[in-house]
Amino acid sequence: MFVLNPCTPSVQLLHLSPPQTISHQPNDYPPFLTAGVPRQYHFHKRNFALFTKATENYRLETNNLQDNDADNYYENDDDDDDDDGDESQFSSGRGFRGREEEKDYDRDPEFAEILGSFLDNPDKARSKMEDRLRKKRNRILHTKTGSAAPMKVVFNKFEFSNSYIWFEFYNALLEKDVSLICDTIRSWHIVGRLGGCNSMNMQLSQSASDKRPSYDAVQGANVTPTTFYNIGDLEIQDNLARIWVDIGTSEPLLLDVLINALTQISSDYVGIKQVVFGGSEFENWRENLTSEDAGFSVHKI
């Protein structure tokens, strides 16, 4: 028979010898349940001590392995969390895709040259920057609305048969602004050339408002016609513009029609600082400026 010590690890028993009895034999250990073990599995005290030590070493190694596995698990878990965080921040279709999609705006030789000469010659650098903005003004997006300030109208020795009409805008014109101004002047010229602005035949506007309108065709046919003779091209320099006109007859209604249209444009679409009728010169206008890169352009009316 073999007596187990409570301080020793349990041993798998191949055979139990029922019934279990309490041993009355004197030994160095307190009495415990005994089990029948085949002879070949009987342990000597020395062998049992070696077995106990080996079991204890196995238990320590197992615990160490478990601790290492736990540490590795938490480290991997932290890495997984980091990966999950990265995925949560960058994996969405609309999220940030990294710097590979960013455009390098610093590699601009022209801009580098401007910055390089700024300390040595600030005036030259400022001039280069203004030229750069002027050349690329059509690609610069900015809000363009009308002006709340009333458009100023000035007459400076205006002659109906041979005069310039000068325009000063608050900002340099964009392409859509140029189209709007050209269409307005073109329409004004067409109506005037067809005799639509004749103050001598104002039958409806001069009739009483409380009566039914009536029109006398004979009277309208016998009125002296007014015809817009000729008009030049619209010339633009930055925020300035001019156009040459030959109205032919002294017809102020033609001017009123243009002024009314420009007033509405200035209020709703493109801010016009002033319109000057007449004069061969205008402030800041350069007669020798003919380069498109410098901000000069000509538009057919």
Kindly state the average pLDDT of the residues 105-128. 73
Residue 298 has what pLDDT? 95
Kindly state the average pLDDT of the residues 68-87. 50
Per the DSSP assignment, residues forming a β-bridge with 236 are: 241, 297
Q: Are residues 119 and 24 in the same domain?
A: no
* 261 pLDDT higher than 80: yes
* Chain centre distance of CA 20: 88
Domain end marker among 17, 45, 67: 67
Helical H segments across 91-172, by residue range: 109-116, 122-135
Give the domain range for residue 50: 2-67
DSSP letter at 120 equals T
**Confidence category of residue 62, pLDDT binned at 50, 70, 90:** low
Residue 156 has what pLDDT? 93
Per the DSSP assignment, residues forming a β-bridge with 33 are: 22
The pairing of beta strand 34-35 with beta strand 2-3: antiparallel
* 120 pLDDT higher than 50: yes
210-236 per-position pLDDT tens digit: 888 899 999 999 998 888 999 999 999
Q: Are residues 152 and 243 in the same domain?
A: yes
Per the DSSP assignment, residues forming a β-bridge with 138 are: none
Q: How far apart are CA 116 and CA 55, in angstroms?
A: 79
Q: Are residues 132 and 182 in the same domain?
A: no
Nearest to 161 by CA among 231, 67, 238: 231
* 14 pLDDT higher than 60: no
* Residue 278 domain-assigned (yes or no): yes
Host H or E run for residue 240: strand 240-246
Q: Are residues 171 and 125 in the same domain?
A: no
- Residue 240 CB neighbour total at 10 angstroms: 20
Kindly state the average pLDDT of the residues 129-136. 74
Nearest to 8 by CA among 65, 61, 50, 66: 50
Residue 248 has what pLDDT? 86
Q: Are residues 151 and 294 in the same domain?
A: yes
Give the number of domains in the chain: 3
Residue 289 has what pLDDT? 84
167-216 per-position pLDDT tens digit: 999 999 999 999 999 999 999 999 999 999 999 999 998 888 888 889 99
From first CA to last CA, the distance across the chain in angstroms is 125
* Residue 183 domain-assigned (yes or no): yes
CA distances 52 to 5, 14, 55, 82, Å, are: 11, 18, 5, 45
Q: Are residues 273 and 293 in the same domain?
A: yes
Q: Which residue has the higher pLDDT, 164 or 292?
A: 164
The first and second tokens of residue 191, run together, are 């109506």
Q: Are residues 9 and 55 in the same domain?
A: yes
Q: Are residues 118 and 194 in the same domain?
A: no
Domain end marker among 67, 97, 117: 67
Nearest to 142 by CA among 153, 130, 133: 133
CA distances 259 to 129, 156, 170, 237, Å, are: 36, 15, 17, 21
Q: How far apart are CA 178 and CA 295, in angstroms?
A: 13
Q: Is 184 exposed, middle or buried (0-12, 13-18, 19+ CB in 10 A)?
A: middle
* 74 pLDDT higher than 60: no
Q: Which residue has the higher pLDDT, 150 or 135?
A: 150
Most confident of 61-75, 88-102, 248-262: 248-262
Q: Are residues 188 and 43 in the same domain?
A: no
Percentage of the chain with pLDDT > 70? 59
Domain end marker among 67, 92, 121: 67
Length of the chain: 301
Q: How far apart are CA 4 and CA 2, in angstroms?
A: 7
DSSP strand E in 140-194: where? 152-155, 163-169
Kindly state the average pLDDT of the residues 112-116. 72
Q: Are residues 227 and 290 in the same domain?
A: yes
Most confident of 1-5, 72-76, 128-132: 128-132
DSSP strand E in the chain: where? 2-3, 34-35, 152-155, 163-169, 230-231, 234-237, 240-246, 272-277, 296-299
